Structure 1
Amino acid sequence: MRGFTQLLLGMTAIGVILSFGGQTLQAQQAKAEFVPGELIVKYKPGVSSSQQQASLTNAGIEVVHYYKEIGVSHCKVRQGVSYQAALQACKSDPSVEYAEPNYIYHATPVKMPNPRTPNDPRFRDLWGLNNGNDADIDAPEAWDVQTGSKDILVAIIDTGVDYDHEDLKDNIWHNPGESGNGKENNGVDDDGNGFVDDFRGWNFIFNKNDPFDDNGHGTHVAGTVGAVGDNGKGVVGVNWHVSILPLKFLDRNGSGSLSDVIPAIIYAANMGARVMSNSWGGGGFSQALKDAIEFARDK
């Protein structure tokens, strides 16, 4: 399973890295969208805190958040300082390992099934799972072997998930350290992981414990992964039984930033996700994103 997880993570990295096809790295970065006035910076090993602060001051930037797991800082350019000047100052600083824009990513387009009555079985819409032309994954044959397991935690790193959906709610993960006896919304970080009341995932856009989907993309993806099977409702997922961890970093328009997806990947790894779904792309090559993926791979 570890090798399988690594393969999925590697495919995610390749999908993001190669999203611009045969273009050069410079061409990718020139066209890539990014959050104005924000940078992702990593210092070389051995650089002291005082040296880092001097470097930040010289570049005209300040740290918004530090991701200790991969040694990366999300920074903002100070008012009155040129973005390009700040970026160049960081890149030319010998104490900086790398500095890059806070890239923007977008949800990958998906073909949504035609809307129907929720209780109307829609397995025939899911041609990718089973069809007569053999352009499918032969899901029924796989289900003869097994239909999934609640022991497998799958992180949906996307626009969030409709955790009340009738075909998903029974497969939504609940954090055992933040669930039961009123822990869900008691305002206390009961499990000590740095996230207060994260009993069913996290919203990294607004830094709160409600990862509800206001776009639909993440819910669609979650349904493909783990809509409850054989229940006479809606669709069916590849896994009839699974634990879905909703993590929201893409907004209602399907857009999100590098500085929000990095902590989402780290969170998923720290909470024990065996598989991570990342159905989004864009941006230029990001070493920070690669570092986050490798952290998850090695966890």
Structure 2
Amino acid sequence: MLTRILSLTVLCSLSVSACTKRDAASDSLMEGLLLASAGAGAFCGLSSDGIAMAGEVLLDVTSSSPSLIEELKARDSSLAIISSGSGLLRVQTERSSEWFKGIRGVRSAQRNFVYHMQATPDDALYADLSWPALIAAPAVWDQRSDCSSVVIAVIDSGIGLGHSEFAGRLWTNSGEIPDNGIDDDGNGFADDVHGWDFIEDDATPDDRYGHGTHVAGLIGAAGNNGDGVTGICWNARIMVLKVFDAAGLTTTDRVVRALDYAVENGASVINLSLGGTGGANGDLTYGALERARSSDVLVIAAAGNEGRDNDIEPFFPASYDLDNIIAVASSSSADGISSFSNYGAVSVDMAAPGESVLSTFPFLNGKTDFEAFDSIQDWRHVSASWRVEEVDAVDKRLCGLSDPSGAGSRYTANSDSMAFRQYDPEGEGPVRVSFLAKIDTEPLHDRFEVLWGTGSSAPQNLLTYATGPRFQTVGWIQYSFLIEESGPIQLGFRLKSNSSVEAEGVTVSALSLSRQNDVSAYKRMSGTSMATPLVAGAAALLRSADPSCPYLDIKNALLAGGRPAPAFAGKSGTGRILDLPGAAANGGTCLFP
């Protein structure tokens, strides 16, 4: 049922009101855009230069001192400081980034770009894929399989820290005493034993999404232990840096902080299975990657999953013009270009297997409950502005409008309405909530909120909020949250507006809930997110054989040693697919296995 609902809603036209039927001709025209952007997530608007957080500017400052903050607020009293750290100041403002340039203490200013994961879930309908054979890994494993002499940073959604495949295979900060609440090594992060969580700003980068665990398993899941799967590195030291939130999104400020942490704490290979269209050479992420280059760090980045040419529309960070980056496309089991994979004769370097890849996963979901949206009477609501609209026999949606009159209807000013109901999915463990939403609100002032709670009253715990004209620019947004509650929950959707501009409101569709059980699980996924860690693992394996080998020699060995693939001729810089023996044979003066 869910697959059917998704196929109907994701292709919905952007030109119609949030709660009206679709136009078939518009569906056809908009299909490519919506499939590329449906997972873009909350808080951001889409423009010609990429997705960024609405109403936010990221400042690179000499110091986030009170005097600078006071000067900024003196210039604009409506400006608000969201966060600061690592030389970055994140502010909420209606000003453009250009407005901040020239202010003393501000080195640069830019929009806070959004990155998303580059993976797609897989299932048993996909043919089995054996990536070790495709990259000829066993021929090298006979000589070397231990990468523990180097540190590999995985900047992602975290790792399932309790997964059996990672026991003894995580980087350990020897300068830190665990759980004493003190920054023993003076690096600015207390108790950062295995890495850092840049979402919660703590030392427990556990994975509640799954993407990072899957990526890390391809690099360093335990090998030759008679259990589960293996990574390219049978033994590894993986630094865990969590930057993705519960909706599967991250932003420039988090990625920059994670990159700097990785470099400053000894990583020599960094995996970035993420990206977005926002960015430019010389921006803040570029600067962090350039600092990595100066420290002899090799960065492996996903080329993206939009099936387009990155030479025409760059995809960052893979498209930055830095020679310490390897941009990786996805290849099929037949050495073809995966249908979802981005490519580029100049901007993409090589490919690696990325379809139906089996790897580690931190949890299993129990039985899934699907919300049918049969009647608004199933929902408790604080005003009459919420309703259910039936698009067709299987597609119904919950709509938040103060005037539910149909096409072109808009919510009214000074409204505050909520629809909520109780759920108690079968099984044990926390509740995984997923849904699609279309959002159109006045930027900064009006907002859509997702809330949860327990008991019988309206929920008050905020999961996330969104503001801005998402309906016109992005279309359906995929949300996914984990609620740490083992009993029944109240789930609510709220629409709030001020006294000025009104817009079209919000629509919720494809709502599902299930219990999430933490286990040492495995899952098949596809994407350039899966191809990227195979190259990162290969880079770590080569570098572990000769840690003094410069990053550029490692990169050249991987590119020159790839297996030629006609499908990639003119589609990547090398036209080659990762081949581990070929890379090992192209080390030049470096001593590879």
Fold shared by both chains (TM-score > 0.5): yes
Shift of 1:58: 2.6
User: What per-residue deviation string (whole Å, max 9, x for no partner) do you get for residues 166-223 of structure 1?
Assistant: 1122211121112xxxx31111111111101111111001100110001111001000
Looking at structure 2, the residues matched to 213 and 107 of structure 1 have their Cα atoms a distance apart, in angstroms, of 14
In the alignment, does 2:246 pair up with 1:252? yes
State the Cα RMSD in Å.
Answer: 3.1
CA contact (8 A) 2:171 2:238 kept: yes
Q: Work out whether 1:98 is the aligned partner of 2:108.
A: yes
SS of equivalent to 2:112? strand
Q: Using the alignment, how far apart are the partners of 1:141 and 1:176 within structure 2?
A: 34
3-state SS of paired residue (1:241): coil
Distance change (3 Å), C-alpha of 1:144 and 1:175: same
Residue 92 of structure 1 and its aligned partner are, at CA, apart by 7.1
Counterpart position of 2:171: 173
Given that 1:230 and 1:236 are in contact with CA atoms closer than 8 Å, whether structure 2 keeps it comes out as: yes
Cα distance in 2, alignment partners of residues 203 and 95 from structure 1:
28
Whether the 8 Å contact between 1:225 and 1:237 is mirrored in structure 2 is yes
Q: Is structure 2 residue 35 aligned with structure 1 residue 41?
A: no
Residues 267 and 255 of structure 1: is their aligned pair in 2 closer, same or farther, counting only changes over 3 Å? same
CA distance in 2, matches of 1:57, 1:260: 27
Tell me the alpha carbon deviations over residues 242-282 of structure 1, each in whole angstroms, 9 at most, x when there is no partner.
10111100123321111111111100111100100100111
> Which one-letter code corresponds to 1:102 in the other structure?
N
CA distance in 2, matches of 1:193, 1:271: 8
Q: State the match for 1:87 in structure 2.
A: 97
Equivalent in 126, 148, 152 of residue 150 of structure 1: 148
**Corresponding position of 1:67:** 86
Q: Does 1:277 align with 2:262?
A: no
Output the CA distance in 1 between the equivalents of 2:155 and 2:55.
25
**1:292 maps to which residue?**
288
TM-superposed CA distance for 1:30, in Å, is 3.0
Alignment pair present for 1:76 and 2:94: no
1:190 aligns with 2:184: yes
Query: Conserved in 1, the CA contact under 8 Å of 2:60 and 2:107?
Result: yes
SS, match of residue 184 in structure 1: coil
Q: Distance in 2 between matches of 1:233 and 1:112?
A: 22
Residues 251 and 275 of structure 1: CA distance in aligned 2, closer, same or farther (over 3 Å): same
- Match in the other structure for 2:466: none
Would you tell me which structure has more helix in proportion to its own residues? 1
- Alpha-carbon distance between aligned partners in 1 of 2:139 and 2:286, rounded to the nearest angstrom: 35
Using the size of structure 1 for normalisation, the TM-score is: 0.72
CA distance in 2, matches of 1:276, 1:255: 19
The answer (yes or no) to whether the contact 1:107–1:281 under 8 Å persists in 2 is yes
Query: What is the distance in 1 between the residues matched to 2:129 and 2:191?
Result: 35
Q: Does 1:243 align with 2:241?
A: no
CA distance in 1, matches of 2:89, 2:104: 19
Rate the CA distance shift 1:184–1:52 in 2: closer, same or farther, 3 A: closer
Q: Which protein has the bigger strand share? A: 2
Q: 2:113·2:279 contact (CA, 8 Å) conserved in 1? A: no
Q: Distance in 1 between matches of 2:290 and 2:73?
A: 26
Contact 1:203/1:210, CA 8 A, preserved across alignment: yes
Cα distance, 1:66 vs. partner?
4.2
Unaligned runs of 5+ residues in structure 2 are 1-35, 38-45, 296-593
Return the offset for 1:237: 0.3
| SS state at 1:151 partner | coil
**TM-score normalised by L of structure 2:** 0.38
What are the residue-to-residue correspondences of 1:209-220 with 2, within 5 Å?
Answer: 209-220=203-214
* SS at structure 1 position matched to 2:247: coil
Paired residue for 1:107, among 76, 98, 117? 117
CA distance 1:50–1:188, shift in 2 (3 Å) = closer
What is the aligned-residue identity percentage?
A: 33
Matched, 1:129 2:136: no
Residue 7 of structure 1 is matched in structure 2 by: none
Other structure's SS at 2:178 match: helix
**Quick one: which amino acid aligns to residue 153 of structure 2?**
A
Residue 65 of structure 1 aligns to which amino acid in structure 2? S
Shift of 1:129: 2.0
Residue aligned with 1:266, SS: helix
Q: 1:94 to 1:206 in 2, by over 3 A?
A: closer
Q: Which amino acid aligns with 1:74?
A: L
* Shift, 1:137, TM fit: 1.5
- Can you give the 5+ residue segments of structure 1 that lack an aligned partner in the other structure? 1-18, 21-27, 115-123, 131-135
1:50, distance to aligned residue in structure 2 (A): 6.5
- Separation in structure 2 between the aligned mates of residue 195 and residue 36 of structure 1, nearest angstrom: 29
Counterpart of 1:185, as a letter, is D
The offset of 1:283, in angstroms, is 4.1
- Judge conservation of contact 2:196–2:203 (CA < 8 Å) in 1: yes
The one-letter code sitting in structure 1 at the alignment partner of 2:135 is: I
How far apart are 1:65 and its partner, in Å? Answer: 1.5
The equivalent of 1:138 in structure 2 is: 136
- Matches of 2:165 and 2:128, distance apart in 1: 15
AA matched with 1:145? Q
